[in-house]
């Protein structure tokens, strides 16, 4: 299948490479010359605009930072909707406001195009390994047709409802991940302050009920103070803004999520917004006056 891929950032680049590895032809839109050259070297074709890419493709996949970027790529002056390709499908893997997803899908429908929203969980490691989890919203027939494409980039591909439902599932996912990361950091700092090796605590509990994929992925990063971004604090703040906006619209209280939003805002205030969200540990260390790995008295 010939696929236009738009959004070759920290997640999009490995996702696009996995599509190439699966045998798909790729047309890419890349703002940076070095990224364009990299993909041309891998056999992809470069296009100057989303419209130009869409006119050459059977499917468009986008992986962009937020709602305004997706709206511009889909509906802007040189966007996907301006391509003369009735029946074209857009799969948006970005994490955006579900109401914006539905707005874009309705506009594309007027052009005879179909949209699936398919945000992902798994971060950069999952994107590289091709083990992302896709939460998909949109028509079931379209989902069934393009599910194999998503399976080239992920190990779990689940349709959760009509268009917009994928991003609603992602809101729930991001709230759960945020609170989980925060409580892992909180517990490790507690162990440190009580004089027990946090690494030993992780080893002792990760096989029990308290164990989780978050602990397995983020615990080692916290223990090593290694906060290279798999998922940046700034992006998680964006997602939690969407979570809390949606929760306020439907009067669904989310006090734990709101508390973690404020903790991440502290990270941003101290210049850590480009680090991995596991850097939440820094907030707890600062508050407790400790540092994982230091010797603490009981």
- Residues annotated as catalytic (active site), given as ranges: 170
Residue among 131, 132, 157, 130 at smallest CA distance from 143: 157
Q: What burial class does residue 208 get, using C-beta atoms within 10 Å of its C-beta: 0-12 exposed, 13-18 middle, 19+ buried?
A: exposed
Cβ atoms of 283 and 185 within 8 Å: the answer is: yes
Residue among 6, 113, 88 at smallest CA distance from 53: 6
Cβ atoms of 149 and 58 within 8 Å: the answer is: no
In angstroms, the first-to-last Cα distance of the chain is 62
**Segments in 194-296 forming alpha helices (H):** 198-205, 213-224, 233-249, 255-269, 280-288
CB contact set of 116 (below 8 Å; sequence gap of 6+): 89, 90, 91, 92, 136, 137, 138, 139, 142, 143, 146, 163, 166
């Amino acid at each position: 299948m010939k696929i236009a891929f738009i959004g070759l950032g920290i997640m999009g680049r490995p996702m696009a490479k996995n599509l190439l590895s699966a045998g798909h032809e790729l047309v890419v839109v890349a703002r940076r010359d070095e990224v364009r050259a990299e993909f041309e070297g891998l056999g992809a074709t470069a296009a100057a605009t989303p419209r130009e890419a869409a006119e050459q493709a059977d499917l468009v996949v986008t992986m962009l930072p937020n709602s305004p970027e997706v709206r511009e790529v889909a509906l802007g002056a040189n966007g996907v909707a301006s391509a003369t390709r009735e029946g074209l499908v857009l799969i948006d893997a970005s994490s955006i406001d579900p109401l914006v997803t539905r707005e874009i899908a309705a506009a594309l429908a007027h052009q005879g195009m179909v949209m699936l929203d398919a945000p992902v969980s798994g971060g950069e490691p999952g994107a590289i390994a091709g083990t992302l989890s896709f939460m998909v919203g949109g028509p079931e027939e379209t989902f069934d047709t393009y599910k194999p494409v998503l399976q080239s980039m992920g190990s779990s591909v689940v349709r959760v409802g009509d268009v917009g439902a994928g991003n609603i599932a992602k809101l729930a996912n991001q709230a759960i991940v945020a609170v989980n990361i925060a409580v892992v950091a909180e517990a490790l700092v507690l162990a440190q302050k009580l004089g027990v090796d946090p690494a030993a605590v992780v080893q002792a509990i990760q096989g029990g009920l308290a164990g989780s994929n978050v602990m397995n992925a983020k615990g080692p990063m916290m223990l090593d103070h290694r906060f290279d971004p798999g998922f940046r604090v700034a992006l998680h703040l964006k997602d939690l803004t969407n979570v809390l906006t949606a929760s306020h619209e439907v009067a669904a209280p989310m006090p734990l999520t709101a508390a973690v939003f404020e903790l991440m805002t502290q990270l941003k205030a101290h210049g850590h917004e480009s680090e991995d969200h596991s850097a939440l540990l820094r907030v707890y260390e600062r508050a407790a006056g400790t540092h994982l790995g230091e010797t603490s008295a009981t």
